[in-house]
Structure 1
Amino acid sequence: MRDEQLLRYSRQIMLPAFDIEGQTRLLQSTVLVVGMGGLGSPVAMYLAAAGVGHLILVDDDVVEISNLQRQLVHREHTVGDSKVESARQTLLALNSDVKITTVNQRVDKALLERMISQQVDLVVDACDNFSTRFAANAVCVKYKVPLVSGAAIRLEGQVAVFDSRQPDSPCYQCLYQGGDDEQMSCSRNGVLAPVVGVIGSMQALEAIKILSGMGRSLCGRLLLFDAMTSTWRELRLPRDPACAVCGAEAS
């Protein structure tokens, strides 16, 4: 590790549970972030600032003026640009040492297969639709790659970790078997900006913990956030033995 890196990351290196070993693991890690919207913004910014060595950003959308209320990785001058390119500029301005790979296309299972099978250490689900979430979950289970999942809408949010390296870990499909993308969209229901910031920050925290080997992850637990009352609830999330993706009869 270079002297400049020791100085840049000194405040987290001095944490006994993290230390130089944790920082070294981050620097050697590759993280796939699916979605550069309200959740992907704080996730990518915190991971870049913390020193994750390689970030792969995937999104096929362009920056719109309505995004700027909550998608803090984008700027007024990037309205009309692809979200991944807009995010790349911000992240490199924050930490020029981070390698950024951008994929400006719609996410499908074939694309996820290609990326996750090529030595991705962790996937962050920051997307806004169930089909992509289910696809990312299935591929992560197949390749035993940890998945950090988050969702936020209106004044509510949730975050969970699914780590198929752990024998008792559930997967995303143990929690949800289906969903209505239109009914759960921010464009239809609205969302308060700090809510996505809270959930995205928690996703980044869980990713850093898993990559560095620090602490206990949320694997097997679901955190629910109510912004109206500023309260959290924790629910135990058991594995579904009949799950079509990770259950005993899964193909």
Structure 2
Amino acid sequence: MPLSAQETRRYARHLVLRGIGGEGQQKLKAARALVVGAGGLGSPVIAYLAAAGAGMLGVVDHDEVGLSNLQRQIVHTSAATGTPKAESAGSFVAALNPYVHFVPHNERLTDANAEALVAGYDLVIDGTDNFATRLAVAEAAEAAAKPLVSGAVSMFDGQVTVFVPGGPRFRDLYPFEPDEADLPACEVVGVLGAVTGVIGTLMAMEAIKLITGLGEPLVGRLLLYDGRAARFTELTFGRR
């Protein structure tokens, strides 16, 4: 479907951008992306994919907006406190870009429903904050042969990587399930809000690269960010 006159003006900076152009924007318009988690990482992913013109954007989140979320979860507002995060994110997207079809999934992703949720989308972006859910997302994406952008943050640091069909898998990077005591929640140790912005924006960038075919995605590479030192480090990993 061709871009409308309004869309052409809206995405003008993409259309003149070498490597994106009209073809890349059409790919974005045709894309169906699922964001798991509308929190600190999911917020910048949702914002930038919606702004970029992703045609269909699904968001999975069972939680409600809380006051303590607003320090980092930028798609939610004070007025949205107490409302489901998926619906709050939908209001943000509708206000930002009416050309994005938003699908709220107001439920917790589990082993039981992950396959069905992933099935309707072309790629998955996971910004959840517990290992069990991240594993469920990764295994569902792998089973459905869908690319996955995966990120995580803690305190002042973060990481992001990409899994694609046939490439290194989530289990190759994390062969053993960690003890929950070794992964304290941000409610316990805290997280600097801007760190979620850095990692979430990198995740959005990786998703756009996968959709448009631009550049080299972080496949088999784990990008680590040390916020205090303002330093990025890259580790490589392969299939076991």
Map of 2:207 onto structure 1:
207
Query: What are the Cα deviations for residues 119-159 of structure 1, in whole angstroms up to 9, with x where unaligned?
Result: x1110001111111111111111111000000011001000
SS in 2 for 1:140: helix
Unpaired runs of 5+ in structure 2? Answer: none
Cα shift at 1:181 = 4.1
Map of 2:239 onto structure 1:
239
The residue type equivalent to 2:209 in the other structure is: K
- Bigger Cα displacement from structure 2, 155-164 vs 180-189: 180-189
Map of 2:148 onto structure 1:
147
2:31 equivalent among 29, 32, 42: 29
State TM-score, norm by structure 1.
0.92
Cα shift at 1:86 = 0.8
- Bigger Cα displacement from structure 2, 172-181 vs 149-158: 172-181
Q: Is the 8 A contact 1:124 1:148 kept in 2?
A: yes
Q: Is the 8 A contact 1:155 1:192 kept in 2?
A: yes
Map of 1:218 onto structure 2:
218
Map of 2:172 onto structure 1:
174
Partners of 1:112 and 1:24 lie apart in 2 by 28
Partners of 2:179 and 2:214 lie apart in 1 by 36
- What do you get for the CA RMSD once the two structures are aligned? 1.0
The residue type equivalent to 1:160 in the other structure is: T
The residue type equivalent to 1:85 in the other structure is: E
The residue type equivalent to 2:131 in the other structure is: F
Structure 1 53/181 Cα, relative in aligned 2: closer, same or farther at 3 Å?
farther
Partners of 2:25 and 2:180 lie apart in 1 by 38
The residue type equivalent to 1:123 in the other structure is: V
State TM-score, norm by structure 2.
0.96
Partners of 1:184 and 1:10 lie apart in 2 by 44
- Bigger Cα displacement from structure 2, 5-14 vs 30-39: 5-14
Partners of 1:163 and 1:184 lie apart in 2 by 28
Map of 1:248 onto structure 2:
none
Partners of 2:178 and 2:62 lie apart in 1 by 21
Cα shift at 1:111 = 1.7
- The correspondence of residues 1-251 of structure 1 with structure 2, limited to 5 A, is 1-118=3-120, 120-164=121-165, 167=166, 169-176=167-174, 177-181=176-180, 183-240=183-240
SS in 2 for 1:124: strand
SS in 2 for 1:109: coil
Q: Is the 8 A contact 1:130 1:180 kept in 2?
A: no
**Equivalent pairs: percent with the same residue?**
44
Q: Is the 8 A contact 1:68 1:75 kept in 2?
A: yes
Query: What are the Cα deviations for residues 155-196 of structure 1, in whole angstroms up to 9, with x where unaligned?
Result: 0100000001xx3x1111111121244533111110001000
